[in-house]
Structures are given as C-alpha cells and as structure tokens.
C-alpha cells in the first residue's frame, strides 16, 4: 500500500515539475494580420523576456477550428476572433476566458473591381463568402446588410477559407467576400477587387481578435498566463512605435508583399484594452442568429471577460 | 433482423448514456445518446445553420450523389462490357485507368474547383470519380467470369456479336455489376460528404451541415448529422441489395 | 478420293487439324486425314481413347474451330460458319444460368427473331416432348443433371438442325439416368430422323444407340475402323448380339490405348 501511495506522490510531483517546465502551447490564425502582436512577441522574444517559454501548437485556418483545438485540450492560450470564442463557450464545448484584446476593426467587404456591385443593397441575390459561421466576419457582414436595410437571407452566404476567396472572386464564383486583413488589401493590390466597406464603416471600434486562455491552464499556471499577457502588451507597444519593423514581421508570417501589408495595417487598430460592451453586442447578435442560447447575458460576459489582467499591467 | 441483433448495440448505448450522465464521458467531447437525439431534433426543426432544415440538406446531398452516380454507371457499365469482351481494348485502356484509379477522389477537389468552379458540378465530378472505378472493374471481371462455353453455346445457336453482347455478356455479368454498383454507391456517398466540406454554393448539403455544426460548436448536432449520414448510407445499401436479389434469382 | 454419286450425307474430306504452338508449348497434331461419309438420318457414334480429338472433330463440324486442312461437306456443299444445319449439345450442358428452362429453350428462336408468341408456344411443345412440364420457370440450378441435359438437347433440337452433334452428353450422369436418357433420345430421334453424330467414351452406349460406330486412334487421330450395327431397335443391352459387337469394338480400342 505504501508503495502505491509513494508512486502516486512521485508521479504528481513529477508531472507538476514537468508542467512547470512545459512551454505554453499557443495558437494563432493563418495569415491574419490581426495576430501581428503574437508574431512580434515571438520574433522579439517578448514572451521569453517575461520568463515564459512559448511553443506554437497550431496555426488554424479560421476561428472555429482553433476553438475545437481548445475543446480537445490541445491549447493553453490562443489568438482568436471573439465571436467563435463566444460561441464555443456559450455552447459549452470549450472552457476559455478572455484575458486581453488584440485588435479592433481590421476586416473589409470586398467586391470585384469593375463589377456589378457598387453598394451593399446590390448584394441581394448575389453570392458572398465568409470565413465561417459565427465568425467575427460573419457577424459583421450580417450587421452591414441590416445597417443598409437588407435582409441577410436575401444574400447567398457561403463559407470559404480566406486563402480561397480571392481566387473565387477573380473567377466570378462569388460576387463578394468578407475577410480579415490582409486578404482585402491583397485583393486590391492584385487588381482583383475593391473595398466596398471596411469594418470601420460597418461598426466603429468593434472588437475583433482576443487573447484567450484555457480555464484549467489559467488555474494551474496563473503566473505564466500573466507573463504572456505582459509580452502581448509589449508587442502592441512595439507595433505602434516601430511600424516599419512590424511590417517586416507581418510580411514574414503572411508571405505577402510590403504594399499589401502596409495597406492592411492601415485598417487595423491594435489595442490590449477589452471592450465589454462590444462583447455584449456579439452575444446578443449570436443569440438572435440562434447560434447560441444565453439566458443571463451579464453573467456570461462577467465570467467570460477578464479585463483586470490588462488593467493591472497598464497601471504599472 | 432478429431481436438478438439489437441486444448488443442497445446495451452499449445504455452504458454510454450512463457514463455520460455521471460525466465520466464529458459531454463536450462526446455528447450522450440523449443529447444526440436532442441535437437531431434541432437539425430537424431549427436547422444548421439556423433556418436550413435537415430534410433539405438530405435532398441536396442525395441529388448530387444520384447525378454523379448515374453518370458513372452509364459510362462504366457499357465500357466495362466492351473492355471485358475485347482483350485488345482492355490492354489499351487499362494502364491509363490503373494510373488514375489510386488517386483518391478527394485529392481531385482543387482541380475540380478549377475546372468546374464551386458548386454542384465539381461535387458531381468528385462523386463520379469515386463511383466509376468500382463499377467499371466489377463489370469487366463480370464479363471475364462468364464461362467461355456459354459464349460457344450461343454461337452454336447462331448468335451474332450483337446477340452475344446483349444476351450473354450483359446478363452474365449482372451479378458482378451489382457488386460494383453497391461498392460504387458506398464510395460515392462517403466521398460526397467530404467533398461538401470544401465549399457548397447552395447552402445545403449534409457535409456542409456538419461543417457548420462544427463552426458553431455543436458536437451534438455533428454526431446527429453523422448518424443521419450513416442511416441513409445503410438504407441505400439495403435498397440495392433488395433490387439485386430480385434480379439475380437464378444464382 | 472418290465421293459417292448421291451426295446425301455429311462428308469429311481429308480433314486434319493441328493446333499451333505458342511460346514454349509445342504444336499439337490432333486429327490426321479424316475421311468418312455419314449418311443422312443415321445415328453414328465416334469412339476413341481420351484426348484423341473427338471433341475437336465435333467443334470443327459445328464451326467453333477451323480445320487446318480438308473440308466438311453436307450434301455436297461446304458447311458455312454458323450454319443452321448443324447443332451442338455440350457435355457440360452449357445452359444459360440466368434463363429459365423455357427461356433457355427459346434462345435459338429468340436470336433468329421469331416473335414472342410463336416461339413461346413452340418452346412449350418441346417442354412437353421432353417431359419438363412444371419446370418451365425453374432456373438451371434447380434442375437435376438429367433434366439439365434434356433442356440442353431441347434447346438444340428446337432449331431443327439436320445434323445434331452430341459431345458425351450423358457422361456426367449416373447409369440409371443415362440409360433412361438414351432410350428417351432414341424415341425422339425416331420421330424426327436427323443425323446424329454422337461422341462417347462408353462402348455399351455406342452399341446400344448407333447404326454405325467409328473408332478413332490415339492422337493424331485417324479412323481405325468403322462398325456397322445392323441390329433392330429396341436393343437388348445385355443380349448376345450387342455383346458380340461390344467385344469387337473393345478389341480394336484396346489396341489403340496401348
């Protein structure tokens, strides 16, 4: 009996020791310029400087995929759109909380450069692509339609991964798409598309990507999580002050040319400060679309968003 | 279908429900049978994405499969009969087919989209590829398996080439053709659902439905959708077997 | 070689057959200078050692093989390929498994283009003639060996060929069924009068059935001897006359088998 207890204790100690030595498993979205702070922090070693070892455990094509990885317990923290994160938590498949904002705005609706669609109501009866259901872009697009008095079910909305969108637009498979930067910028620099509306036009200051953390990870490794958030805030500062170098890092991680990246970054606002009001609007919207069912919105948002992390860092 | 056949699955489902109820199996990883049934209800009434109901997804998927499958059968059966009959033709065409056959239909998706765009034509093409080869190969082997003496018997009854083709080769190859057709529809159905993962213009399709359920984080709906896909595949197979046994009473 | 003035019969003229070699296989010389007349309306058996070429001879007459040399004439005219004058009953029945008894028998008329009503009623006649009543709609797998052979024979006879070739048709049946079918065949033939060329292993059978027995040698087969069996029918299988002829045939055969 004693031997078994000893074995268990050693095991626990060992795994905790290992856990403390394990790098933080972090993920981001492929070629999404919103995630620049993550790339900057990795390149400039900001996480390391806070004493945290970080490994990239996944690069995903869209938010919902990243949330699935959280559900499978494969991630500790992730840079992801707030809409897919909200959906996953509300539908109880992933247990994460949001520790910091990554950016606001930074998406755009793109149509064919010399095409038939000149304004939003002309999208009626046409085909538009979004990166996924219940993504930030999906919500933005529907919001844009409603803002211009068009019913979303009058437009054929289909799901495409952003890398496929420009090609589909070019060959007239679709009439419009909405994606995160730098895809809209790339469509413009390629001469294929033009911006019909940027997210600023649709919903000023709307929250977009957030830095989320797995609840269990947060409980067990609070200090590490805080370190990551500090590195994140540093990265955002760096982007503001050393724009050209940030652009180079953006080019490296997206593989795109300087002109596109520069244009893309004009459309994005990097900030670590969480917008709780913005989140409430998402919850309302997603509930209206029947993707989620949240009874007590305030309660949900209180438990989902943790603005105190960033507030603490900024105060210093 | 005896009562005993249902005993084991029923037992497994009960154990599963039990383990789920006490959360030994967490529901976000594997929803319980009850949750899956509720998810099925949502698929039927609410729809995924909301507003797109299950029966429409089913109809669109069936339509795509039927089209791709019909084209595959209409091409593969006559070609298979000819290739079984003419050794020269078989020798000529076979290397090309043997090269193309191992390529999984899903690997064709990027090319299909380039050639046919996003929409029903590329889905039908993928299904066609999946169903074509099993039907072709089984038809050829069906012809080759006809005892040569039957062809000679037909000749002694003064059959010309056309008679041999229609009255000996075709009926003689029918059992094998049916085997090929069953395999073909199985592959076609499986291929369709995966093919729909990549892009569906009409907004309907079982593969698309499951992908969307994943997007909105509803594993209960994902599994309910998988159940529907499995049941439909089973029903199709049962249907084909019934037709087969009617047509091949003589075996 | 002289041909008789009245060309009424099946003539083999200097018939030879060699199967060419393929790769490592050597060529096989099967038939050597077969010269024989079989008069119309006679029942003739061909008997010889195993593998001597009896089946090849039948297949040449039926048009399934081509002779390497020589000709086959019917009433002085060379037999065309696929001619309706000749029918062949296979040893293995060769019934079409996906067709019922009725449909198997109908096959020939169907190919010829005879319209459904006519060929159906004709086929039913043969069903009755061959005692297959009640089995019209059965498939070959449901029939006994004896029944299957009757269907095979009916299928051939419904085309009214002048020459009926039969390749060891009763070889795979038990002796009781075989005897019954031999008697049945004689009855049918008695009413029709076709020429029957009947290949068999079985000397008893040849003696019981035939007007004439042709004995072939080992490969390459020549005609060794022909026997006239002038006995009236029905014959006593175990009677003295049959025994005598059997003995003589066996003597010649055993020489060949050595």
> Same structural domain for residues C109 and C170?
no
Round the average pLDDT of chain A to a whole number and report it: 90
> Same structural domain for residues C141 and C205?
no
The domain boundary residue, chosen from C130, C160, C190? C160
> Same structural domain for residues A254 and A305?
yes
> Same structural domain for residues C35 and C126?
no
The domain boundary residue, chosen from A171, A202, A233? A202
For residue range C10-57, what is the model confidence (pLDDT) as tens digits?
A: 888 888 988 888 888 888 888 988 889 998 899 999 998 887 788 899
Residue C13 structure tokens: 């003229």
Mean pLDDT value of segment C211-218: 92
Distance CA(B242)–CA(B236), nearest Å, equals 10
Structural domain harbouring C130: 95-160
Q: Touching check for B104 and chain A: CB below 8 Å?
A: no
Which one of B148, B153, B178 makes the best mutation probe of the C interface by having the most chain C beta carbons within 10 Å?
B153
> Same structural domain for residues A77 and A124?
no
Q: Are C15 and C57 in contact (CB under 8 A)?
A: yes
- Percent of chain C residues past pLDDT 90, beyond the cut: 52
Note whether B167 contacts C111, CB cutoff 8 Å.
Answer: yes
Question: Which of B5-9, B238-242, C242-246 is the least confident region?
Answer: B5-9
> Same structural domain for residues C127 and C253?
no
The 3-state DSSP composition of chain A as helix, strand, coil percent (nearest 5) reads: 55, 20, 25
> Same structural domain for residues A111 and A100?
no
> Same structural domain for residues A97 and A229?
yes
Q: Touching check for A201 and chain B: CB below 8 Å?
A: no
User: Which residues make Cβ contacts (< 8 Å) with residue B136, sequence separation at least 6?
Assistant: B76, B79, B80, B83, B97, B180
Distance CA(A243)–CA(A257), nearest Å, equals 15
> Same structural domain for residues A99 and A215?
yes
Of A88, A130, A97, nearest in space to A292 by CA: A88
Q: Touching check for B166 and chain C: CB below 8 Å?
A: no
Question: What's the pLDDT band for B1 if we cut at 50, 70, 90?
Answer: low
C30: domain CATH number is 3.40.50.300
Which of B46, B208, B216 is the closest to A87 by Cβ?
A: B216
Tell me which chain C residues have a C-beta less than 8 angstroms from the C-beta of B245: none
Question: If you count residue pairs, one on B and one on C, with CB atoms under 8 Å apart, how many are there?
Answer: 62
Sheet of A209-214, strand order: A54-60, A24-29, A77-81, A209-214, A96-101
Q: Touching check for B163 and chain C: CB below 8 Å?
A: yes
pTM here? Answer: 0.78
Q: Touching check for A315 and chain B: CB below 8 Å?
A: no
3-state secondary structure of A180: strand
| pLDDT over 80 (residue B213) | yes
Q: For residue C74, tell me if it sits in a domain.
A: yes
> Same structural domain for residues C233 and C197?
yes
Question: What's the pLDDT band for B171 if we cut at 50, 70, 90?
Answer: very high
A180: domain CATH number is 3.40.190.10
Tell me which chain A residues have a C-beta less than 8 angstroms from the C-beta of B201: 127, 156, 158, 173
| pLDDT over 70 (residue B198) | no
Question: What's the pLDDT band for C8 if we cut at 50, 70, 90?
Answer: confident
Mean pLDDT value of segment A57-73: 90
Round the average pLDDT of chain B to a whole number and report it: 89
List residues bridging with A29 in a β-sheet: A60
Mean pLDDT value of segment A137-161: 88
Q: For residue C14, tell me if it sits in a domain.
A: yes
> Same structural domain for residues C198 and C128?
no
Tell me which chain C residues have a C-beta less than 8 angstroms from the C-beta of B149: 90, 92, 94
Domain count, chain A: 2
The domain boundary residue, chosen from C106, C138, C160? C160
Mean pLDDT value of segment C119-138: 93
> What is the model's pLDDT at position C1?
46
| pLDDT over 80 (residue C80) | no
Mean pLDDT value of segment C205-211: 93
- Percent of chain B residues past pLDDT 90, beyond the cut: 55
Q: Which domains does chain B have, with CATH numbers?
A: 57-247 (1.10.3720.10)
> Same structural domain for residues A101 and A218?
yes
For residue range A185-204, what is the model confidence (pLDDT) as tens digits?
A: 999 999 999 999 998 888 88
> Same structural domain for residues A69 and A183?
no
Shortest distance between the Cα of B146 and any Cα of chain C, in A, equals: 10
> Same structural domain for residues A80 and A227?
yes
Evaluate whether chains B and C are touching (3 or more beta carbon pairs less than 8 Å apart).
yes
> Same structural domain for residues C109 and C154?
yes
> Same structural domain for residues C173 and C241?
yes
> Same structural domain for residues A12 and A61?
yes
DSSP assignment string, A78-125 = EEEEHHHHHHHHHTTS--EEEEEE-EEE-EEEEEETTSS--SGGGGTT
Q: Touching check for B152 and chain C: CB below 8 Å?
A: yes
Which of B153, B250, B251 is the closest to C94 by Cβ?
A: B153
> Same structural domain for residues A219 and A270?
yes
> Same structural domain for residues A176 and A288?
no
Tell me which chain C residues have a C-beta less than 8 angstroms from the C-beta of B174: 98
For chain C, what is the radius of gyration of the CA atoms? 19
| pLDDT over 60 (residue C233) | yes
The domain boundary residue, chosen from A184, A202, A220? A202
| pLDDT over 60 (residue A235) | yes
> What is the model's pLDDT at position C140?
94
Q: For residue C4, tell me if it sits in a domain.
A: no
Shortest distance between the Cα of C86 and any Cα of chain B, in A, equals: 8
> Same structural domain for residues A144 and A180?
yes
Residue of C nearest to B160 (CA): C111
Q: For residue C90, tell me if it sits in a domain.
A: no
Residue C73 structure tokens: 């004439």
Residue of C nearest to B166 (CA): C111
List residues bridging with A159 in a β-sheet: A130
Global ipTM:
0.88
Which CA distances in Å does A122 have to A15, A117, A173?
Answer: 59, 6, 17
For residue range B11-46, what is the model confidence (pLDDT) as tens digits?
A: 998 888 888 888 887 777 788 888 899 999 989 998
> What is the model's pLDDT at position A19?
59
Structural domain harbouring A166: 107-202
Question: What's the pLDDT band for A275 if we cut at 50, 70, 90?
Answer: confident
Residue of B nearest to A286 (CA): B216
> Same structural domain for residues C67 and C166?
yes
> What is the model's pLDDT at position C123?
94
Mean pLDDT value of segment B143-168: 93
Q: Touching check for A220 and chain B: CB below 8 Å?
A: no
| pLDDT over 60 (residue A151) | yes
Q: For residue C2, tell me if it sits in a domain.
A: no
Tell me which chain B residues have a C-beta less than 8 angstroms from the C-beta of C111: 154, 157-160, 163, 167
Position of tokens 């070689």?
C1
3-state secondary structure of A220: helix
> Same structural domain for residues C127 and C104?
yes
Shortest distance between the Cα of B112 and any Cα of chain A, in A, equals: 13
Evaluate whether chains C and A are touching (3 or more beta carbon pairs less than 8 Å apart).
no
Note whether C88 contacts B174, CB cutoff 8 Å.
Answer: no
> Same structural domain for residues C68 and C141?
no
The domain boundary residue, chosen from C131, C160, C189? C160
Tell me which chain A residues have a C-beta less than 8 angstroms from the C-beta of B50: 289-291
Mean pLDDT value of segment A199-219: 91
Residue of B nearest to C104 (CA): B154
Domain count, chain C: 2
Q: Touching check for B149 and chain C: CB below 8 Å?
A: yes
> Same structural domain for residues C107 and C213?
no
Question: Which of A113-127, B49-63, B100-114, B195-209 is the least confident region?
Answer: B195-209
| pLDDT over 90 (residue B52) | no
| pLDDT over 50 (residue C156) | yes
Question: If you count residue pairs, one on A and one on B, with CB atoms under 8 Å apart, how many are there?
Answer: 72
The domain boundary residue, chosen from A202, A233, A258? A202
Q: Touching check for C173 and chain B: CB below 8 Å?
A: no
Distance CA(C99)–CA(C158), nearest Å, equals 16
């Amino acid at each position: 009996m004693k031997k078994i207890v000893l074995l268990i204790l050693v095991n626990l100690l060992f795994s905790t020791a290992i856990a403390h030595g394990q790098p933080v498993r972090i993920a981001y979205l492929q070629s999404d310029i919103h995630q620049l702070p993550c790339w900057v922090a990795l390149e400039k070693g900001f996480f390391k400087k806070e004493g945290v070892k970080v490994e990239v455990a996944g690069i995903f094509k869209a938010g919902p995929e990243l949330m699935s990885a959280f559900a499978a317990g494969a991630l500790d923290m992730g840079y992801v759109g707030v809409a897919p994160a909200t959906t996953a938590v509300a539908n109880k498949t992933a247990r994460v909380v949001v520790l910091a904002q990554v950016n606001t705005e930074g998406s755009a609706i793109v149509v064919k450069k010399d095409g038939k669609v000149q304004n939003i109501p002309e999208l009626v009866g046409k085909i538009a692509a979004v990166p996924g259901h219940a993504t930030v872009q999906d919500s933005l697009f529907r919001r844009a339609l409603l803002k211009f008095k068009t019913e979303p079910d009058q437009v054929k909305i289909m799901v495409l991964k952003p890398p496929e969108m420009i090609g589909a637009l070019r060959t007239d498979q679709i009439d419009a798409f909405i994606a995160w930067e730098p895809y809209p910028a790339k469509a413009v620099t390629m001469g294929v598309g033009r911006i019909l509306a940027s997210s600023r036009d649709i919903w000023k200051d709307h929250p977009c990507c957030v830095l989320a953390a797995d609840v269990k990870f947060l409980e067990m490794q609070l200090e590490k999580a805080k370190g990551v958030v500090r590195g994140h805030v540093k990265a955002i500062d760096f982007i503001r002050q050393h724009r050209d170098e940030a652009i180079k890092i953006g080019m490296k991680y997206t593989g795109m040319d300087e002109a596109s990246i520069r244009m893309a970054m004009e459309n994005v606002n990097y900030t670590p400060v969480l917008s709780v009001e913005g989140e409430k609007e998402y919850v309302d919207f997603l509930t209206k679309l029947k993707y989620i069912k949240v009874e007590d919105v305030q309660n949900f948002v209180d438990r989902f968003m943790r603005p105190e992390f960033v507030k603490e860092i900024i105060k210093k | 279908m005896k009562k005993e056949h249902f005993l084991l699955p029923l037992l497994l489902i009960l154990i599963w429900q039990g383990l789920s109820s006490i959360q030994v199996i967490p529901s976000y990883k594997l929803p319980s049978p009850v949750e899956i049934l509720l998810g099925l209800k949502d698929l039927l009434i609410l729809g995924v994405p909301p507003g797109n109901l299950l029966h429409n997804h089913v109809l669109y998927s069936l339509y795509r499969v039927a089209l791709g499958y019909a084209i595959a059968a209409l091409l593969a059966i006559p070609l298979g009969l000819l290739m079984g009959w003419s050794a020269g033709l078989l020798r000529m065409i076979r290397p090309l087919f043997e090269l193309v056959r191992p390529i999984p239909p899903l690997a064709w998706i990027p090319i299909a989209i380039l050639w046919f765009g996003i929409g029903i034509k590329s889905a039908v093409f993928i299904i066609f590829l999946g169903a074509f080869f099993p039907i072709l190969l089984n038809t050829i082997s069906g012809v080759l398996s006809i005892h040569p003496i039957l062809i000679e018997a037909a000749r002694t009854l003064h059959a010309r080439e056309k008679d041999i083709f229609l009255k000996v080769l075709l009926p003689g190859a029918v059992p094998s053709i049916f085997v090929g057709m069953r395999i073909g529809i199985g592959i076609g159905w499986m291929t369709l659902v995966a093919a729909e993962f990549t892009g569906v213009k009409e907004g309907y399709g079982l593969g698309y439905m499951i992908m969307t359920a994943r997007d909105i984080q509803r594993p209960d709906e994902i599994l309910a959708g998988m159940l529907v896909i499995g049941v439909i595949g089973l029903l199709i197979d049962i249907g084909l077997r019934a037709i087969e046994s009617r047509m091949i009473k003589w075996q | 070689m002289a041909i008789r003035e009245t060309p009424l019969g099946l003539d083999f003229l200097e018939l030879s057959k060699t199967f060419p070699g393929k790769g490592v296989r050597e060529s096989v010389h099967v038939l050597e200078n077969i010269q024989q007349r079989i008069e119309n309306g006679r029942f003739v058996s061909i008997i010889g050692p195993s593998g001597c070429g009896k089946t090849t001879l039948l297949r040449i007459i039926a048009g399934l093989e081509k002779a390497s040399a020589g000709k086959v004439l019917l009433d002085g005219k060379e037999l065309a390929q696929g001619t309706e004058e000749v029918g062949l009953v296979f040893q293995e029945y060769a019934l079409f498994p996906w067709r019922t008894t009725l449909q198997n028998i109908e096959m020939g008329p169907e190919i010829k283009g005879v319209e459904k009503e006519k060929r159906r009623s004709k086929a039913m006649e043969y069903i009755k003639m061959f005692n297959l009543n009640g089995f019209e709609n059965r498939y070959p797998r449901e029939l006994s060996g004896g029944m299957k052979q009757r269907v095979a024979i009916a299928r051939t006879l419904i085309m009214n060929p002048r020459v009926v070739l039969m390749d060891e048709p009763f070889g795979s049946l038990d002796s009781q069924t075989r005897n019954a079918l031999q008697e049945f065949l004689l009855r049918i033939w008695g009413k029709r009068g076709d020429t029957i060329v009947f290949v068999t292993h079985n000397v008893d059978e040849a003696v019981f059935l035939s007007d004439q027995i042709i004995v072939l040698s080992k490969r390459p087969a020549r005609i060794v001897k022909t026997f006239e069996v002038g006995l009236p029918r029905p014959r006593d299988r175990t009677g003295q006359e049959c025994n005598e002829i059997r003995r003589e045939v066996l003597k010649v055969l055993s020489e060949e088998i050595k």
